[in-house]
Amino acid sequence: MLDTRFTRRFGLSHPIALAPMDPASGGRLAAAVSNAGALGLLGGGYGSHHTLQREFDLAGDAAIGCGFITWSMGHDVSLLDKALERRPKALMLSFSDPAPYARKVTDAGVPLICQVQTLAHVQRAIDCGASVIVAQGTEAGGHGFDRQTTMTFTPETADYLAGKSPETLLLSAGGIADGRGLAAALMLGADGVLIGTRFWATQEALIHPKAKQLVVGAKGGQTVRTSVYDIARGRDWPAEYTGRLMVNDFIRQWHGQEEALKAVRDEEKVRVESAYDAGDCDCANVTVGQAIGLIADIPPAALVVQGIAEQAARLLRTRG
């Protein structure tokens, strides 16, 4: 219904990609998105050979891609090798310099997707041979920068690519959860969208049911960018990246008290991880973006793809 350079390049029916979220984007979710005519990306996350193999296997014969947290995957590059052995439809690198690993991806004949937060990142991705740039606005759930919004960063990146590398495709990310967001992204110059939070709240996502239900009917203003969970869980993120999460008691206690949190990190890590397994969302991280204000149900992922594509096509036809 929506023909773009992205759909043509990847043989898709819809210009939509699943964000490779850790842990939400498992094999079943990635397969459901791909089988619905979009691009499903498996979340390689912080890196586990067992998990990576299991989730690729669960995707079956679906044509999916994979994405990694670049700095974390760099601790064990064999994870990237294992992913490339599965002949993914694309390989996405996010958060830190892709240069040390980009050549391995492109030499394997796999399209490289790079997620970026600044124009300097855009140029670095171009230099590394990225086929697709994902321009991530600060509305996005999970990690990113506290800088530009999707509404401004997408067209700025589109203009930059038009002048520097017009063959490079552009996806918009951050705060997009329905057809209105997809239509807007296309009008801003993107070739498609990368969606996280809306797919996080689907039946196939590897998220505790209590956490999913919490976001139904929630408002986008109930999220905040913070580093408290990275500190508590001992994850050594580059300083410029913070995570957007739904505000809860743990964040109210520690946001703004990061140095004090570091002093009790070991105890808080146990408490947070136990809470996550139990679905105790007052303590556990609920890693979502401002798009929670647009979520009212927990449907199968295929219906999300279909609904977003149909609404965007209708809007562009009647209002474009």
Say yes or no: 120 and 233 in one domain. no
Say yes or no: 168 and 221 in one domain. no
Strand partners of residue 143: 243
pLDDT for 1 equals 76
The pLDDT tens digits for 248-304 are 999 999 999 999 999 999 999 999 999 999 999 999 999 999 999 999 999 999 999
pLDDT for 233 equals 93
pLDDT at residue 320 is higher than 70: no
Say yes or no: 246 and 220 in one domain. yes
Instruction: Give pairs for 262-265: CB < 8 Å, separation 24+.
Output: 262/231, 265/231, 265/232, 265/234
Nearest 5°: CA angle at 182, between 290 and 114?
75
The pLDDT tens digits for 114-149 are 999 999 999 999 999 999 999 999 999 999 999 999
The pLDDT tens digits for 20-32 are 999 999 999 999 9
CB 193 within 8 A of CB 16: yes
Q: How many domains does the chain have?
A: 2
Which residues form the domain of 277? Answer: 209-290
Say yes or no: 173 and 200 in one domain. yes
Say yes or no: 145 and 185 in one domain. yes
Say yes or no: 151 and 248 in one domain. no
Q: Name the pLDDT band for 47 (thresholds 50, 70, 90).
A: confident
* Distance from C-alpha of 48 to C-alpha of 79, rounded to nearest angstrom: 8
pLDDT at residue 93 is higher than 70: yes
pLDDT at residue 33 is higher than 80: yes
Say yes or no: 158 and 259 in one domain. no
Q: Name the pLDDT band for 217 (thresholds 50, 70, 90).
A: confident
